[in-house]
Amino acid sequence: MTSTVNGFGAAIPQGHEGHLGTETARREHGRLGRGAYRGPRTLAAARSALRVALPEPSSRYDQNDEWCVVQQPDGAWDEIRFHDYHRIFDVPGLYEKIFYDVLGCDTPRFMVNLLADALADAGEDASAVRVLDLGAGNGIMAEELATIGVAHSVGVDILPEARTAAERDRPGLYADYLVTDLTALGAGDSRRLTEHRLTALAVVAALGFGDIPPEAFRTAYDHVAEGGWVVLTIKDAFLAEDDTSGFARMISDGMASGALDVVRREKFRHRLATDASPLVYEGIVARKRGPLA
Ligand SMILES: C[S@@+](CC[C@H](N)C(=O)[O-])C[C@H]1O[C@@H](n2cnc3c(N)ncnc32)[C@H](O)[C@@H]1O
């Protein structure tokens, strides 16, 4: 293990961004939104005080195994796996630091812009849309949705630390936030979701890789009204013919059968991997026209 900052990491002072921190460099890797996420002012100081370092860029990790080191208050460096979200959410600003400041993610804003385009084409008002934000994390998606006028978001995440972080860092954004496992949804939580009369499902940066499995996606989908919106991002490999995760069958079959009526579909660079290669995802905005097989 090395603790080298690989030239585009957190050691770059604010206002002096490295080669992949510039908008031009980020755009070389694919279509992005308007730029890096900035976030609430209260988090800005926490983010800039954090020190994060990546493995040397010559090392390559599966997306499941990516990690970084983070400096602790006593000066020691601690290794954190990217998928250890509970540890990341416990530290205000750390999620934003790693994924937005260092690795250039802009996915929630990108997807919300796609949804806003689709709503405009359909002549629908965002303020009428009631969103189930699955894998809601610390609330960045709800924050972006609010910028286009969505007034009712319901978060669902499997981690209590995610809800705690959302309430701590972005209070008041969710009408409700359930900590639950949708592969084993109880009757009480199912009723609670139904009572929100949901008309959209958003699943951003949360499908696959040991995160949200196909069955959980389907349960969430089943709680959204017919004609409602589905906003999702997924690694392109999960939609390939040789995919074994179950997503390709569920989503591609849904598109083929017309259950998922796609109105926007774009490949985009979700973020960088720790070796600075682009992680390419598909962003899909569709209307729910029927159940998934
Ligand atoms: C990369 S974060 C994305 C958070 C948020 N959607 C965003 O874009 O800022 C993935 C989130 O999915 C959640 N997650 C992972 N597996 C899950 C599951 N089975 N059910 C619900 N949430 C899950 C994680 O706890 C984490 O908050």
Tens of pLDDT, residues 242-253: 988 899 889 989
Which residue's CA is the closest to the ligand 1 atom numbered 26? 137
Which pair of tokens denotes residue 218?
């389907």
What totals of helices (H) and strands (E) does the chain contain, helices first? 11, 10
Q: Where in the chain is the domain with CATH 3.40.50.150?
A: 107-288
Query: How high does pLDDT run on average in the chain?
Result: 88
Which residue's CA is the closest to the ligand 1 atom numbered 11? 135
What is the residue type of 165?
Answer: A
Instruction: Give the tens place of pLDDT for each residue, 276-288.
Output: 999 999 999 999 9
pLDDT the model gives residue 6: 25
pLDDT the model gives residue 208: 87
Q: Are 182 and 219 in contact (CB under 8 A)?
A: yes
Which of the pair, 36 or 88, is modelled with greater confidence? 88
The count of C-alpha atoms lying within 13 angstroms of the C-alpha of 63, restricted to the half-sphere facing its C-beta, is 22
pLDDT the model gives residue 241: 86
pLDDT the model gives residue 13: 28
Which of the pair, 256 or 14, is modelled with greater confidence? 256
* Model confidence band, residue 15 (pLDDT cutoffs 50, 70, 90): very low
> 4 pLDDT exceeds 70?
no
Which pair of tokens denotes residue 265?
């579909």
Token pair 């196909």 in the structure block, residue: 214
Instruction: Give the tens place of pLDDT for each residue, 157-197.
Output: 999 999 999 999 999 999 999 999 999 999 999 999 999 99
Ligand 1 pocket test target in 143, 157, 163, 204 with most atoms within 8 Å of CB: 157
Ligand 1 pocket test target in 211, 217, 232 with most atoms within 8 Å of CB: 211
DSSP code string of 8-55: SSTTSPTT---TTTSHHHHHHTS---SS-----HHHHHHHHH--EEPP
Within 6 A (CB) of ligand 1 lie 85, 108, 135-137, 140-141, 156-159, 162, 182, 204-206, 211-212, 216
* Model confidence band, residue 9 (pLDDT cutoffs 50, 70, 90): very low
- What is the spatial distance between Cα 113 and Cα 122, in angstroms, rounded to a whole number? 14
Considering only CA atoms, which of 144, 167, 166 is closest in space to residue 231? 144
- Ligand 1 atom index nearest CA of 183: 19
pLDDT the model gives residue 36: 60
* Model confidence band, residue 22 (pLDDT cutoffs 50, 70, 90): very low
Q: Are 104 and 178 in contact (CB under 8 A)?
A: no
* Model confidence band, residue 80 (pLDDT cutoffs 50, 70, 90): very high
- What is the spatial distance between Cα 78 and Cα 210, in angstroms, rounded to a whole number? 23
Side-by-side strand order, sheet with 200-203: 176-179, 152-157, 130-134, 200-203, 229-235, 278-288, 260-272
* Model confidence band, residue 7 (pLDDT cutoffs 50, 70, 90): very low
Which pair of tokens denotes residue 244?
């074994």
Which residue's CA is the closest to the ligand 1 atom numbered 16? 211
- Ligand 1 atom index nearest CA of 203: 6
Mean local confidence (pLDDT), 101-120: 96
Residue 41 CA to ligand 1 centre (angstroms): 23
Which of the pair, 32 or 64, is modelled with greater confidence? 64
- What is the spatial distance between Cα 227 and Cα 35, in angstroms, rounded to a whole number? 31
> 33 pLDDT exceeds 70?
no
Mean local confidence (pLDDT), 62-85: 94
For the 107-288 domain, the top CATH level (class) is alpha beta
* CA distance to 104, 206, 211, 215, 292, per residue, from 166 (Å): 21, 16, 18, 25, 30
Residue 260 CA to ligand 1 centre (angstroms): 22
What is the residue type of 180?
Answer: T
* Model confidence band, residue 26 (pLDDT cutoffs 50, 70, 90): very low
